[in-house]
Structure 1
Amino acid sequence: MNPTIKTFPTTKFIGKNLSFTYVDYRTFELWSSFMPRRKEIKNVIGNEVYNIQINPKDFDFKPNTPFVKWAAVAVTNFDYIPDEMETLVMEEGLYAVFNYKGDQTNAAAFFNSIYTEWLPSSGYQLDSRPQFEILGEKYKNDSSESEEEIWIPIKLK
């Protein structure tokens, strides 16, 4: 596990969000409501979609602890916001970027390795900013050939 350390710039997003827990994981519901309408969003930057997770302060990763998940695209401005969509601004920050390849069957174990193995042995600690995945051209839902970038917010210990 060898991430790249990158700075993600301040970025504006438009999308939809839901609050849920790992026990009541409603990500399919979120993405099913967002994807058919994503073309309504104007001034989109690139073709990527973002799966953004905003954890509460001191998030404990326990199954019943709620967090907010966003399905969104990056935009240049908020001049037009489609009905039932919202805006989000993510501030610039340092991230550990991991490349994940495969379907979602091993995703939980991959995230667990990041938080329980890589992070404690690195010179970084988790920062209280959103974590996210960039689903770009190589992302193929439920395919063993799918690839995505996982961005974990970090700061020096």
Structure 2
Amino acid sequence: LQQLALEGHPPQHEIALKEVPAQTALSARLVAASEAALLPARLSLQTLLQENLERARLKPATPWFALVANNQPYRESNLEIELAIGVQLSSRQRAGDWGGGPVQLLELRAVAPMASLIHASANAPLSSAYTQLHGWAQSSGYQIAGAYREIYLPESGVSSSPQTELETGYTELQAPVQRASIPVSILSPQARKEQKMEPKIVTKPAFKAIGLSYVGKNKNHEIAQMWGVFNQRMPEIHSIDQSQSYGLCFASPKGAAEGEFEYVAACEVSNSQSLPAGMVYREVPEHKYAVFTHYGKLDNLGETYRYIYETWLPQSGLEVHPSRYDMEVYDERFAIDSDDSEFDIYLALK
């Protein structure tokens, strides 16, 4: 009710956690060519489902709603859309009555907890509700655990005519959530027992480094290949400490395409010295860092980074440095392909 009273103002959605009971629904899906084709596609699906409801003499038990996968990559074309409506089957009706056709019968399980918010489409696009729900989940220690539901709340009652546009003045956006777990890869043996992890906050003075540089998105594991070359060439660098090496990650290198970053496999040096062939010189300023330790093999390193950026950081109340710089520090604790391996990840803070 508070949200509905905010007509004409930028939405700051009230997010509630609730239980959603199990329900049976008829659904149909198709692929829309573009975003502009989404509404005609939705209306086409609505007509198809309405015809099936009438043929089977079923009355709607819920408003129309769409199911949206939470791990679906962003695309501007070939957009999959699934529309559904809750129904109550009679004792003579079975799921197989709809088998093999474009319309399917879904048995949606009960969900608890389900995060929910009401979005007024006149105030802002629905994407803003997704953004706020996702941000709320991160900052509150939850993670999205299933498909989103966009429930189109009609002003004229549960049933609406298939010949008219779906009434989307208000949409309830729902997402099943669960408490975010701390990955084993970032927990020490003692912390695993307590299921608690707190990074160290340190200040590291400025330092200089020389190493091999890679700029890209690491789609084909180029960084791992570069480390193989760098490990063989480390003796060419007059480093301060041969037992320690760095993986320096710069978020926005000059001349890089969108989404690309620079990663430098490097050793610390006392001065710029003459550069070995193909290597680069970098100066890292003094920063305050949150220091995490990655435990085990590199296979689940992505899980560690996701926890740091998507769970710990939003809950910490801290902000990353504007440069979005982070680095990996390898020392004698690191052993490739070993379950006992350890190395540290430094996240620069504002």
Q: Do these two structures clear the TM 0.5 threshold for a shared fold by scoring above it?
A: yes
Question: 1:83: Cα distance to partner?
Answer: 1.5
Query: Match for 2:291 among 97, 105, 124?
Result: 97
Question: 1:25: Cα distance to partner?
Answer: 3.3
What is the match of residue 60 of structure 1?
Answer: none
| Mapping 1:104-115, distance limit 5 Å | 104-115=298-309
Read off the aligned partner of 2:327 and give its amino acid letter. F
SS in 1 for 2:309: helix
What is the match of residue 148 of structure 1?
Answer: 343
Query: Match for 1:10 among 206, 209, 231?
Result: 206
In 1, distance between residues paired with 2:309 and 2:262? 19
Is residue 36 of structure 1 aligned with residue 232 of structure 2?
yes
In 2, distance between residues paired with 1:52 and 1:7? 16
Q: Which runs of 5+ in 1 are unaligned?
A: 58-63
In 2, distance between residues paired with 1:106 and 1:121? 22
Over aligned residue pairs, what C-alpha RMSD do you find? 1.5
Q: How many residues align?
A: 148
Runs of 4 or more off by more than 3 Å in structure 1?
none
SS in 2 for 1:124: coil
Asked if the contact 1:95/1:151 (under 8 Å) is kept, the reply is: yes
| Mapping 1:28-107, distance limit 5 Å | 28-42=224-238, 44-46=239-241, 47-56=243-252, 65-107=259-301
In 1, distance between residues paired with 2:199 and 2:284? 21
In 1, distance between residues paired with 2:246 and 2:337? 16
Asked if the contact 1:51/1:134 (under 8 Å) is kept, the reply is: yes
Read off the aligned partner of 1:48 and give its amino acid letter. Q
Q: Which runs of 5+ in 2 are unaligned?
A: 1-196
Tell me the TM-score normalised to structure 1 length.
Answer: 0.88
Asked if the contact 1:41/1:80 (under 8 Å) is kept, the reply is: no
Instruction: State which drifts further: 2-11 or 14-23.
Output: 14-23
Question: 1:45: Cα distance to partner?
Answer: 1.6
Question: 1:114: Cα distance to partner?
Answer: 0.5
For the pair shown, which has the larger CA radius of gyration, 1 or 2? Answer: 2
SS in 2 for 1:133: strand
Question: 1:130: Cα distance to partner?
Answer: 2.4
SS in 1 for 2:334: coil
Higher relative contact order (CA 8 A, sep 6+): 1
Deviation string 1:15-54 (CA, Å, 9 cap, x unpaired) is 0101121434311221122111110111x12220101111
SS in 1 for 2:293: strand
